[in-house]
Homo-oligomer: A and B are copies of this chain.
Amino acid sequence: MPAEQLTVQDLSESELLARIFPRLNHSPGVLLGPGDDAALIAAPDGRTLISIDTQTQDQDFRLDWNNGYQTSGYDVGWKAAAQNLSDINAMGGSATSLVVSLTMPPVTPVEWVEAFADGLTAAIIALGAPDCSVAGGDLGRGRELAVTVAVVGTLDGLAPVLRSGAKPGDTIAVAGTLGRAAAGWALLESDIRMDSLSSELRGLVESQCRPVPPLAAGPAAARVGATAMLDISDGLLRDASRLAGASDVVLDFDPVALKVHALPLEPAAARLGVDAMPWVLGGGEDHGLLATFPAGIQLPQGFTAIGSVQAVVEPPGSGVRIAGQAADTVGWDHFAD
């Protein structure tokens, strides 16, 4: 019989915080960290970006997946950080701090919470945001696990890159991967046991549980004059439709370029007996970037061209085309907004 596991109800809030704080990194932009009623963060250019995002158990992640994988605290911490860092990246900014609210059932193991803190820190470092740290937070009880992160960031004097600036003639480009997290989700939900997966297919599961948004790409895009940008969080076509609507343009994707993204997903698709392309077009949790650039400029490192922006000449529908055909007439209408 294993030793009784320590759970959060066995500790006071200050005891639990004492286990969390040493696991967090520290950055000089946090002028005043945890311990007072609010933290104080440097905002060197006199402005601060802010975004907020919640992940709730059984809505945004499962603790126990069909294929036997168990989501760890580390996974949840990593993903919470990654999602939020991506929102700042998508504006062309760099994150300076996170504040984290963690709501937990009283029976949550203390080890889970420690792994959660480790996952937050690991993501911040591994994704390339070491100047960002956790500046504060809130712990509370609930019937289900829920994590809310608010992130603040700096544009370092640049203008924010909005969704609304794409112009006809612009080049459409993406940074980061497309469809890997969706393929990972399909594997997690399948009957193929986790321990029977190849390391390549396990990598897809990792993309779902610990996504790797391309954090250098956002500020690089802003510096070269990207005209519009967003984080692909709900799927390429759906997010493209939002950008098209905000910019009043049509985004026309190149099927050959799309195919390049589907190719590495073929082994997983074959294993599951499905088509890889819907993952590329509909999967969002890789947290790549979709951006538009003036035609002819050299795309910043990490971006590859994937289509072109066109003027609206007829009722635009979703505003998204593939090789000139409305995306919702080529079989993927359930991905359109």
Contacts and interface: CB of A to CB of B under 8 A. Distances in A.
Interface stretch (A141-149, A202-210, A277-285): A141-149
A37 B136 contact: no
A103 B148 CA distance: 10
Nearest to A145: B142
B40 A136 contact: no
A48 B230 contact: no
Contact of A50 (B58, B136, B160): B136
A192 interface: no
Contacts of A31: 47
- Report which residue of A40, A59, A144 has the largest number of chain B beta carbons within 10 angstroms of its beta carbon: A40
Contacts of A86: 37
A48 B47 CA distance: 9
A211 interface: no
B90 A163 contact: no
B87 A38 contact: yes
Given A32-B160, A101-B148, A146-B146, A49 B56 contact: no
B52 A99 contact: yes
Contacts of A43: 43, 46-48
7 contacts: A38-B51, A39-B51, A41-B47, A54-B138, A54-B146, A58-B143, A148-B148
Interface of A: 14, 31-32, 35-44, 46-54, 56, 58-60, 86-88, 90-91, 93, 97, 99-101, 103, 135-138, 140-144, 146, 148, 150-153, 155, 160, 162-163, 230-231, 246, 337
